[in-house]
Structure 1
Amino acid sequence: MNHKLLKLIEYLYQQSSPISCKELAQHFKVTTRTIQNYVKDINHISDNNAIISSKSGYMLNKQKTDIIFEKLNVNIPDDNISRCTYILKKLLTQTTGSINIFDLSDELFVSYSTFRNVLSYTNNYLKKYNLKVISNNNLLHLQGNERDLRRLMSTIIYDEVSVNSFSLENLYEYFNFELVTKVISFLDSFSKNNGFTINHFTKMNLILHFCILIKRIQDGNIEMDSAVNCDNNKLLLECDYKLITILHKEIFNTFNIDIDNDNLKEAYLLLQINSDLSLNLVNDVLGKEIISLMKEIIKEIKVNYLLDLNTPEFITPFSLHLKKLIFRIQHGKVEKNPILKHIKKTLPMIYDISTYVSLYINNFFGNEVIAEDEIGFIALHIGAEIHRQKSDSEKISTILVLPKYLELESYVKNQILKSFHENLNIVDSIYSYEYLHNFSHTAELIITTFPLSYFKNTNIFEIVSISPFFNSEDQLKIHEGIDSIKKKRLNQILINQFDYFFNKELFHLDNGSYKDEYDVINFLAKDLINKNYAPKEFLTHIINREKLTSTAFNNVSVPHQFFIETMKTGTNILISKEGIRWKNNLVHIVLMVCIKNEDKKNFTFLYEALLNLFTQDDIVKIVKTSTSFEDFKKKVLLFIE
């Protein structure tokens, strides 16, 4: 169902009386014949008279809207991002490898000139993948190497559907039913016969990658290379060549394709990374040194961050990643991470834990330096495990306020949970906003199809008003509501614990004597040492941490260390109105944190709260003019409140 038909349905849904064909034509700026065609199409698609026609005009049969709701799963992209994704999906899944520009324009309901703009946007997006959409005689095709194309395909699918809600139905959309079922059957039998147990959490990831690999070989989109590359042999480490031989034979027997050496090795590594290997095989593949390092890392993270990563879902894939990481370090190789900046920006605490892990690996293997790209991959492993452990108590308690219309409640609830089950815990559904006072202590978020004007005296909740059709605009509104609540939670941490983490004796104004970040670090660290907050080794560890990767985010820096136990908890503050050069940043606010052991759990939340607050441009402009600690505290708390 295209977006023009949806617009008509939405408009009629809001009306309480029939609307004439002429009025509708004027509203949508089309002819009356076009409106009549729209009505005919809607009634055909919905398999019933969803729109009733009378002498007075057209009216939506709201008692039969449940059938329409079931038909609303097909959305026509209406912005550059969704159109770009649509185009790339088409190009990646077409067996011919090319598509006519005018056909795509028609499918997207856009003009040729608009399509050219979308194409320009798409090529900008593809730069990070080293890919490009080429136009030749009005035919489009993707240009780039095979591995980048597969990486793009995987990214697009996972961007669209979250890991936990990823299902076989999603795979059927991209690959035919026969291929998906064959891949599942193949993986189940191969793993069972050869000592693998496929990890439940990563099974969809494994099925996805095998579907991509097999389909592209079947479609002739991979250049087969029979020569074995020496470097690739090295990167396999001590992989079991007997199993690789069996894998080659089984792929040929199942899919009737002769896979080349490079792709065969990649397929085998995918099996390893996404499986829980038997204990003997783990020891054989990893070796005692890696297993010992894993145990130490898990222990240290639990001590320093109170996070328990001692689960099979984390240990097996991360151990295998760790083995390959050590090999790359020892041979001067780096795995480029295309989403490193995004990880650092959106997962600052997890990235920080990963930096700690990298420091530990450095020390374990004799100060081997780990690149930031590799730290980003460590963050993905740790982030996935934390994501698995999230409990309902961390989710946002949500109330749905919906009118009692047949399937409306069920439809809206299901659509919301599909997209936001990781963040929201829907505790109840009510039919009238008048009963909200009963939930004032149990809910943070209200999602409703009633207008916001109905909720004038309910400012204790975050309220999001959506349409009953749950379109992309509604998803954006809920995202904004969730972000707003998360920021409020973080701000409340600062309000509640401000006087514990900040005090007058640890506040300084820039006197113009600091040339760079190391001058500032020297001054603030020595000040903490002299005031008996931290031991003498504190300075050395702060400097080592800064050398590894900058602690500056925009105009703020939060220097801290991992290894040394401090005597007190405190934050040493330096305010610079003019700014201090900090690598590639101009920093106005420096917050050097030292945390004693019993406060380390709170530091996880404090760190996120600090970054959430001080990376906002407005707060930096306000706080950098502070003249005293009292002035600083007043400005921060006023801004939060």
Structure 2
Amino acid sequence: MLSKRQIGILKLLELGDRYTGEQIAGMLGVTARTVRTDMRVLSNTLPTFGAFIDSKRGKGYRLILQDSEAYNHMKMQTQEMEDQSDRVTKLALLLLQRKTYLKLEDAAETLYVSESTIKNDLKVLKKDLERRGLTVITKPRYGIRVIGSERQLRNVYRTFLEADTTIPGLKGQLYQQLRHLVVSVLQEEDTLVTEIGVDNLVIHIWIASERMDAGLVADISKSDKEHLSRLKEYQVAQKLAKSVGNVLGVELPTDEVVYMTMHLLGAKSVSYEDKGMKDFTKVVNSRIIEISASLLRVADEHMQLSLANDNELLSGIALHLKPALNRFKYGLTIRNPMLSEIKQAYPKAFDASVLMGKKLQELTDVSINEDELGYLALHVGAAMERQESQRVKKRALVVCATGIASSQLLYYKLQARFSGRMEIAGTCSAADLQRRSLEDIDLIITTVPLPETLSKPIINVHTLLRDSDVGHIERIIADRLQTLSAYIPADHIFLQLSYTKRDDVLQFLVAQMEKRFIVPSNLLALIKEREEMAPTFQENFVAVPHPIYPVMDEPVVLCCTLQRPIDWGGHEVQIIFLFCVPKQYNEGLQQLYESMVVFIEDRQKVKQLIQAQDLAACLPLLS
């Protein structure tokens, strides 16, 4: 079935209009690349359910329905899958809003479902809460209750609060009033906080008020209270607490003011516009700059990204770490709404951020979560994009029979069609080609036959450049997506394994690697180390484990499916792709990443691969 985001795209297209990828991206708040990936999934999936996507270059996408009944049935199935997730979120909020027990019959009545349904949902929720460090207690005749430190409870409460897309509170008038108040106080106190930082503060205030209503106050140590109450941010927090108290009709105790001070320290930012990139050393202490430089050196050492001398990246990492280290110190969480997209769009950058997070832990003794890693990956991804924009485009030499009129005609057609993506290095006749050096040329576009012994790729085209010629050139110069089958031969696929534990699966796959390739003796340890930093679960029952840093000369992918789902960092997984990327990054590797994303996003294909009993059923799904 489709993801919630893909259903959102369909709802837009159901209006009957044609939308471009950029328009859809803007309306859904995602990147154009994400929309393109979703469109590939929809194009592959919808024909099975009586619909297809009509796509026209420059005009956008349109939904065509051929069998409304089959299409609506598919949407209903998707909604049923989402319903339990929504109920689990609401059940979590009911539990985390109180310090007393919640009776099952009360929960069932509140959520308009049966007690048996609540019991099933509770099994899912209990596993999730325990993974987050909380304890679920069930007491006969009393009900259920969640136990943990107040800081843990608030962090988890926030996660579920933001996950509940139907909750009116975070969209309501009171929330907007609080946000406006917070922004006003911060401006009056000349305290610069990012938009995400402001949202963190407002959500913290919202949660604090609800917890105080239940008689629960922040737990602050004596040492933290003494230290933080002497800072300037504490004075800002006092003013905020007074203003907020007037709106909510409550008086925030000292511990809540101190806790708000922690959030301020974790949210404060530095304006690039006000300070200028070159002045970041004036607002970030030398220790943080040294740490940032160390993180970049680690990324360069293992990922060969050539980033250590990128001063713009260094300043971005340092300015991010300044408030982030305060968040780590006080155990505060910051949500990264773009995390899933970052991991898909910039997998290499995210892996680099994992290495940086490991180094940061060594240097500061703080543990960094996936959301923070995602923000580091954004900085790295931006630097990689800057590098890409500076690379020389593919240079083509145009060859025609005479090298005069016909070559000039083709030259201008190519310039108009591939401007910005291909540089025409010049034109010449077939005779002149023998005397011309090809060292500065990436490909030859010709209207006449040429000897195949030339050292560069040759593309034969018509002088008038027909559509088939354009497609041929596109395949050479563009980042054309290949299917997974191009990277996974049949003897790298293992179906319906009976393993029930993650480590046993990893041990099996590594053993298969050792039979086929020369691999480091500690490959299994490197894969487990990567899992400890951030689980490699993607979505739709798929995990993509890989070593914490590249160890191979060429990309290698092994695939296995399991008879039953297993736990993988708190998520159920039934398909595993062991992913060993090469030490040197290249365009082919990006194609592999993108083809993996396209497959994982296609719930129908994932489901069929899980059910496949033999290679005959499996291989077409990877094609």
Higher RCO (CA < 8 A, seq sep 6+): 2
TM interval, short-chain normalised: 0.3 to 0.5
Q: TM-score, normalised by structure 2?
A: 0.46
Q: TM-score, normalised by structure 1?
A: 0.45
